[in-house]
A and B are shown apart, each in its own frame.
Chain A
């Protein structure tokens, strides 16, 4: 893919990790001029200074409404800005919104030139969401692990069991009661706290 390196792209995102992922992807695709704005104060002034061709913003950012003002004050902007090049491309808009990104594009840029930016953006946003999801799952697995260790410790102390025996007891109880190991471990901790 030969990207247009003359584009100036601004990424407005409060997540530094996602912005970095996006920036790297855009650079790899040949877009040389990519800037990241993470600070939301005086957003319009910063954007006017950079004067980008494309603005990418995370949908969870309330400052999206601020960008809408650029449609209204075209006297101040060098060129008027429109979101999405034309309204016939509803599926692209839907894909972008579902991925959590919105694009503002300087009027006059051809759709074919924007498409690769938007597609790349959508895939990067989706990749980030997957990463975030994995991170969350790892975190909760770690949390379960900690709870299990505490429950094992309580059983070992209360009943004079080895670690292996404590674990077998928790596991068999979970199987008998059709519950998760983590839930049984949590109830052991809760019970121990109540009995303190």
Chain B
């Protein structure tokens, strides 16, 4: 029997770890899959090549999978995700000047996102009064957790992300340079770009995004729904290989090897030491050498992270509605939730009990009432800064 050939697209980021390790450690080959990994430069490319069938599967931003399924601003192609490639993993980095300004205005512990968000509101107000340009924040894509995490944080402190500051899309490799030349004052991005800015002495990591939301679906293993129905066995094999890879990655004894695999020039192509920092959740946050550690900086497979959780899909959809990207409907909410398929995960890897210590609502936002995926209207009613639905 010959192996099933599969072409899978990815962006060189640490949260592609389960995919890259599944292929490079031979877990996919062991399932009879002959996977070719295609490195891409933009999420638009990954999405379009998946949608038109040039890729069988892809490492994709979770919100893009939902947006594609709902046909928001793009060709409507229903997507399903049987495996969550990562929870969290991003950070907010600010320029030394903005860092100093926020610290000067911080009333309380600056590790608390509410303290920094309120401080940011005061910085913004002072700039407006003095006639200075609004602050500019870089993020990676309109349909990205980075966008929603930044907005969720600043809006909690009273900053309107569309009126009080500028939010711009920047390709991750351009983030650091844009911070240096002043095109942005801050950015929210995944590894290794926050660390690169800190190492160069041009940025401070203000927050890990896991400070803002305990569990946010970051990237998923995405396939077209149609493809999943035509190739259920292949998808199960692919999902199983990813499960093995995630277990391998989460074993601390393998971290060095994993970092080397991911660091290879044709994969992520950065120093394995920087990759290991992200996997260990131990990051240098200030040019002065201060380190910070978090057990949930990036979750690849532990704490049930790999099992797609429709609650997180509902949270992402709620953000799309909040910021005027999507009109609200109960039907669309249901469609969004069904992009995440724990049933397919369980069928491939076996059902497992939800770890007991996970935050009760499955999201764990630093601000607001517990999130109820069945009632996102209540979530939206509880926030004051939001946009009207699209025309």
Q: Hey, which bits of chain A sit against chain B, CB under 8 A?
A: 40-42, 44, 59-69, 71-72, 82-84, 87, 90, 93-94, 97-98, 102
Q: Does B302 contact A (CB under 8 A)?
A: no
Contacts of A82 in B (CB 8 A): 73
Q: Indicate if the CB atoms of B73 and A72 lie closer than 8 Å.
A: yes
User: How far apart are the CA atoms of A117 and B169 in the complex, in Å?
Assistant: 27
Q: Does B226 contact A (CB under 8 A)?
A: no
Binds A, one of B16-24, B45-53, B82-90, B194-202: B45-53
Q: Indicate if the CB atoms of A93 and B48 lie closer than 8 Å.
A: yes
User: How far apart are the CA atoms of A97 and B51 in the complex, in Å?
Assistant: 11
Contacts of B45 in A (CB 8 A): 59, 64
Report the nearest B residue to A75, measured CB to CB.
B162
Contacts of B44 in A (CB 8 A): 64-65, 67-68, 102
User: How far apart are the CA atoms of A41 and B138 in the complex, in Å?
Assistant: 13
Q: Indicate if the CB atoms of B52 and A97 lie closer than 8 Å.
A: yes
Binds A, one of B29-37, B98-106, B170-178: B170-178
Q: Indicate if the CB atoms of B52 and A90 lie closer than 8 Å.
A: yes
Return B319 CB to nearest CB of chain A, in Å. Answer: 13
User: How far apart are the CA atoms of A26 and B376 in the complex, in Å?
Assistant: 49
Q: Indicate if the CB atoms of A68 and B141 lie closer than 8 Å.
A: yes
Question: Given A44, A83, A87, which contacts B168 in the complex, CB threshold below 8 Å?
Answer: A44
Contacts of A83 in B (CB 8 A): 74-75
What are 6 of the A-B contact pairs (CB < 8 Å)? Answer: A41-B178, A60-B41, A62-B42, A67-B44, A94-B54, A97-B48
Report the nearest A residue to B147, measured CB to CB.
A72
Q: Indicate if the CB atoms of A84 and B142 lie closer than 8 Å.
A: no
Question: Given B42, B49, B178, B181, which contacts A61 in the complex, CB threshold below 8 Å?
Answer: B42
Q: Lowest 7 A-B CB distances belong to which pairs? A: A62-B171, A71-B73, A69-B169, A64-B42, A87-B75, A72-B142, A64-B44
Q: Does B244 contact A (CB under 8 A)?
A: no
User: How far apart are the CA atoms of A16 and B265 in the complex, in Å?
Assistant: 26
Q: Does B183 contact A (CB under 8 A)?
A: yes
Q: Indicate if the CB atoms of B42 and A65 lie closer than 8 Å.
A: yes
Candidate in B43, B44, B172, B181 with the most chain A CB atoms within 10 angstroms: B44
